[in-house]
Structure 1
Amino acid sequence: MVHEKPCLPDVPTAEPPRPAAAATLLALMHAQGEVERLSEREQLLSSLLVSVNAVLWAIDWETRRVLYVSPAYERIFGRSAGLLLADHREWRNSVHPEDLDYAEHSLARVLEQGAVEDREYRIITADGQIRWLCDKCYINQQVVPGEPLIVVGMAEDITEKKLLELELHRLATTDVLTQSSNRRHFFECANQAFDNACVQGTALAFLLLDIDDFKDINDTYGHLEGDQVLRRIAESGRGVLRRGDLFGRIGGEEFAAVLPGCAPEMALQVAERLGKEIQALLFSYEGREFNVTVSQGLASLREDDSTLDSLFARADAAMYEAKRLGKNRVIAG
């Protein structure tokens, strides 16, 4: 007898993953990882841009439209980045008026040179502060024909550095007591004025002043009072002279001035007015009042003057002649 095997129900078997579905799943997982890594990079870049104390920017050169400005813009300029992105003229409005022409023309040189570095100019922040910037700009190297020309740059706040440089320059060129030019700086500027006058064929006058009986002032009233005399005479000099004139302390009680473009007659009037201003100064020491006077020597540029030294020598000789003739006067040499 033959026994038949019992019939068993069909049990479905699991299908192996289809190759296309597996590839899609792997692609999705890879894309998700790339998105996460991209997001991490964007977050890192964003945090770096926030921490950088410089303004990174990019503009479309033809339209001057600002394409990008980094977060430091609002911190340094004190102005809205949104307004700048909406209107590029916001940048012009922030540049110090005295530096605007330089800032614009130096930026335009990027077209010729491909890069312009170390442009220094001032800006005025929204609250009225003046800050110094050092700006570097470059043409985007990935220039595609027919595509807009993009100029990128970085503007660094160098205010503290600039103020330090200016202070060091002031200390190097200024007489500490009177805040006038010191001897070295005065003669540097005076020689430049002399050269300009010779090239342009314009007038120039050299004035030398010496305080009368200054030793007696120090001996009678003390050196502190003598210092006060020097300071106030320097103030008088700066007050009387014209803008563009040079004034400095070149010796213990000796001052000098150079008057560019000043004809001999006008220079004499300036010297006389300065002498009267100084004589009108009133000093007081322990209840006693006193005045001071100066002897002045004046020399004007002549055709045979080859160096500033010749003017200085004539002014010096004239000043000693003023002393000899009784002091408190101007002698033209």
Structure 2
Amino acid sequence: MAKNNPKILPGTPPPDAAQTLLALMHAQSEVARLSEREQLFSSLLESVNAVLWAFDWETRQVLYVSPAFERIFGRPVCRVMADFNVWRDSIYPDDLEFAEQSLAQVLSTGSVEHREYRILNDDGELRWLSDKCYVSQQPGNDRVTIVGIAEDITDKKRLEGELQRLATTDVLTQSSNRRHFFECAKQAFDKAREDGTPLTFLLLDIDDFKNINDSYGHQEGDQVLQRIAHSGRTVLRRGDLFGRIGGEEFAAVFPGCKAKVAEQIAERLQREVQRLSFGQEGQTYSVTVSQGLTGLLDDDDTLNSLYARADAAMYQAKRQGKNQIVQG
């Protein structure tokens, strides 16, 4: 009996050729999927405002940086891949020692997550980075690779700085507000006590300020406060503290300043205020201030006792005719 062999239609490939074709089609599909995933991954890396990086500790060679490096540092990726010093040299000089020490610390701790430093990009713009790093070591491999993510936190730092400024500054005069002034004054007082150095406390009050508000309005009174605050900041030395601690009352602390020098500063401030001229509706007027000045006298002194003595001296200046300095 004759065998019934299956009929192969013309143009049909042999069975093993069909399998090869299916395998090729599957491979092409996998390549397409991988390419799509790679494009998606690259797109994600482009959109992240952080630099992913890998660094060979022994050879000091950058093994990988993500595309954000070029955007944040303003330098081509190929440059830092060729030379790690491109990254190192971009670090703000004051932060370089910390950045290098904290990077080395990861070898003993395994990770460093609280690491912030500044860089200067290629345009000279100062930017803040939060650069977390971790040791990545494969079992059986002595090669030490450090991987990390450097996030651009410049906007966050600017916001923090603005919030700090608002929390510590008198909005009207741009001087320290009362709380911040006394916090800084306490630190200066404690340091003077510890170092055995002099410190002087000054209180200043604008004479007849209520008459200014009543005669010319509160807006004019605000201008008087602003200009006297500016005079105070102009006359004081670098490192001196100055703040608005009440409606028309200002205070200053002179660290390391003996009574005679502090008196000279107060006299300069007195003259500076007297030179100010104000005008409203064709009328001009000037203002004066009364000041109380005191310094550390004995071991029982506290910041509160200095404040109380300066306050008493200032009111004595008021009683004696105003526009003068009294030492307490």
Query: Which of the residues 103, 111, 115 maps onto 1:115?
Result: 111
- C-alpha distance after superposition, 1:159-208 (max 9, x if no partner): 22222221111111111100111111111111111111112222211111
How far residue 286 of structure 1 moved from its aligned partner, in angstroms, is 1.8
- Distance in 2, matches of 1:195 and 1:174, equals 22
Whichever of the two has the greater Rg, that structure is 1
- C-alpha distance after superposition, 1:242-281 (max 9, x if no partner): 1221110000000001111112221111111111111111
Counterpart residue number, 1:314: 309
Counterpart residue number, 2:98: 102
How far residue 51 of structure 1 moved from its aligned partner, in angstroms, is 2.3
Counterpart residue number, 1:217: 212
**Structure 2: gaps (5+ residues):** 1-13
Counterpart residue number, 2:265: 270
Counterparts in 2 of 1:314 and 1:231: CA distance versus 1, 3 Å:
same
How far residue 24 of structure 1 moved from its aligned partner, in angstroms, is 9.7
Instruction: Give the secondary-structure state (helix, strand or coil) at the position aligned to 1:168.
Output: helix
Letter in 1 for 2:193: C
Q: TM-score, normalising length from structure 1? A: 0.85
Q: Note the aligned Cα RMSD (angstroms).
A: 2.6
Counterpart residue number, 2:79: 83
How far residue 151 of structure 1 moved from its aligned partner, in angstroms, is 1.2
- Distance in 1, matches of 2:132 and 2:113, equals 4
- C-alpha distance after superposition, 1:86-142 (max 9, x if no partner): 222222332233333333333232223211113222222222332222111111143
Instruction: Give the secondary-structure state (helix, strand or coil) at the position aligned to 1:118.
Output: coil
Query: Which of the residues 277, 280, 283 maps onto 1:282?
Result: 277
Letter in 1 for 2:80: L
Query: Which of the residues 182, 199, 206 maps onto 2:194?
Result: 199
Instruction: Give the secondary-structure state (helix, strand or coil) at the position aligned to 2:175.
Output: coil
Counterpart residue number, 2:290: 295
Residues 305 and 311 in structure 1, CA contact (< 8 A), matched pair in contact too: no
Letter in 2 for 1:274: L
Letter in 2 for 1:253: E
- Distance in 1, matches of 2:75 and 2:140, equals 33
Deviates more, 1:208-217 or 1:247-256: 208-217
How far residue 17 of structure 1 moved from its aligned partner, in angstroms, is 8.7
May I ask how many residue pairs the two structures share in their alignment?
315
Counterparts of 1:149-298 in structure 2, within 5 Å, are: 149-298=144-293
Identity %: 70
Instruction: Give the secondary-structure state (helix, strand or coil) at the position aligned to 2:210.
Output: helix
- Distance in 2, matches of 1:234 and 1:55, equals 45
